[in-house]
A and B are shown apart, each in its own frame.
Chain A
Amino acid sequence: MATFGWPEMLFIFRSAGWTLLLTLVAFSIGGVVGAALAIMRLSPSRVLRAIASTYILVIQSIPVLMVLFMSYYGLSLFGIGLPPFLAASASLAIYASAYLAEIWRGSIESVPFQQWEASSSLALTRPQQYRYIILPQAVRISLPPTVGFLVQLVKNTSIVSVVGFVELSRAGTLVSNATFLPFQVFSLVAAIYFTICFPLSRLSRHLEKVMNAGRPH
């Protein structure tokens, strides 16, 4: 039986790095796709709107776990074997894109419509309106919920352990099985999640307060 010593702890810390990397990749790709979806949802084209809202509806209506299984096992049916890290980041990115799209659509919509009217009256094109008038205001509005979602995403990375990818919680399980010290091991794992998420939660809370207090210059 192994002891719960430095090597085990180091293993857990290193796996926390994978959790962070997974979050980062999922958030970046999900963010790009989510932004495109949000703009599509608000586009004058009915087709683009329908495509985006169907995608969002479908992804939000199935557990991330199923997205993960489908990208991992489903693709292997067609002979496409995704490495666990790719399958994990792809499915988390898909999940993130749908949620971020909705957060950002809401933020864009909460910019007063008079801002659209004033800018179109000044002969700006629609992309210019987004770029110079709407998005700068929407980004401010979206910061607290976006950071809030990031916290969810960090915690949700734990599900990818089911396809064999060793991130923080999977590392905890492995060490716990080897040492028979589940309480000590998972206390450490929880403490690491907390260390990552707590500052983010506080940041989200703080941003919200700052926004409500008016715009600082």
Chain B
Amino acid sequence: MPAVLIENVHKSFGAVEVLKGVSLSVESGQVVAIIGRSGSGKSTLLRCVNGLEACQSGRIEVAGHVLDQDQKKLRELRKDVGIVFQSYNLFPHLTAGENIMLAPRLAKGLGGPELRRMAEEVLAKVGLSEKFDAYPDNLSGGQQQRVAIARSLAMQPKVMLFDEVTSALDPELTGEVLVVMEDLAKAGMTMLLVTHEMNFARNVADVTVFMHQGRIWESGPSADLFAAPKTPELQAFLSAGVH
């Protein structure tokens, strides 16, 4: 049973069909990178996986949950599926520690010293132990993004989704976030990530998927896909160098 199973998903915004029958599966412990031009539907696909967007047809199963727009079922799914956004989206009125502890407390009923210890643990995992009491405003972009990753990890998800999590960061700060993600991958986390970092996809992802015009145009083991792209579209995309 794959950790993520996407079958023939169609999604339109009004009259515009953005996903035209996408199928994809991610095995447990696998890292899959989605690459492609702007507007090809990468974010939309990722957001369909945790129900932030509702698709019109097709079937999605994540971490053993069949995707359903019923709010209660959706919450059950989301307890097992973390997502990290390009714009961090930390809660600005809460400290890093509070950002991390909130959902485990409310959604999972954790509390007390155990909760605090767990929050310190995930914060240490992203290298920010000393920032427990810092407000997001007082953190750099890279630090905020690492707190956002820690916040997701605190839910102990079975699958993590990442949508261009380094695109808003300066090159110097990109590295520190990628290192955290690489550690996660090594630790066996199942990851589905949209990225413009071709080196990261090539080196860290087991499989890379190239999306083009709302379809999966080409996919394969990352090493092969980057070494020998088959379709002219992927060849053009990779040689353009600007992603």
Contact = CB atoms under 8 A, between A and B. Distances in A.
Given A120-B78, A121-B50, A132 B106 contact: yes
A63 interface: no
B79 interface: yes
A133 B79 CA distance: 18
Given A122-B155, A123-B75, A215-B137, A117 B52 contact: yes
A46 interface: no
Contacts of B107: 122-124, 128
A125 to B, nearest CB: 7
Contact of A132 (B89, B102, B135): B102
Interface in A98-144: 114-115, 117-126, 128, 132-133, 136-137, 140
Contacts of B106: 124-125, 128, 132
B103 interface: yes
A117 B148 CA distance: 13
Interface in B60-78: 71, 75-76, 78
Contacts of A114: 85, 87, 89
Interface of A is mostly: helix
B70 to A, nearest CB: 13
B83 interface: yes
Interface string B162-179: 000000000000000000
A5 interface: no
B11 interface: no
The residue in A123, A133, A137, A215 that gathers the most chain B C-beta atoms within 10 A of its C-beta is A123
Contact of A123 (B79, B90, B135): B79
B156 to A, nearest CB: 12
Contact of A121 (B52, B71, B87, B90): B52
Contact of B91 (A119, A125, A140): A119
B147 to A, nearest CB: 12
Contacts of B71: 125-126
B146 interface: no
* Most B CB within 10 A of own CB, among A122, A128, A133, A136: A122
B215 interface: no
A124 B137 CA distance: 23
Nearest to B79: A123
Contact of B89 (A117, A126, A140, A214): A117
A124 to B, nearest CB: 6
A193 to B, nearest CB: 36
Given A121-B52, A123-B78, A124-B106, A137 B85 contact: no
Nearest to A214: B137
Interface of B: 50, 52, 71, 75-76, 78-79, 82-83, 85, 87, 89-93, 102-103, 106-107, 135, 137, 151-152, 155
Interface of A: 114-115, 117-126, 128, 132-133, 136-137, 140, 214-215, 217
18 contacts: A114-B87, A118-B90, A122-B78, A122-B152, A122-B155, A123-B78, A123-B107, A124-B103, A125-B71, A125-B106, A132-B91, A132-B102, A132-B106, A136-B93, A140-B93, A215-B92, A215-B93, A215-B137
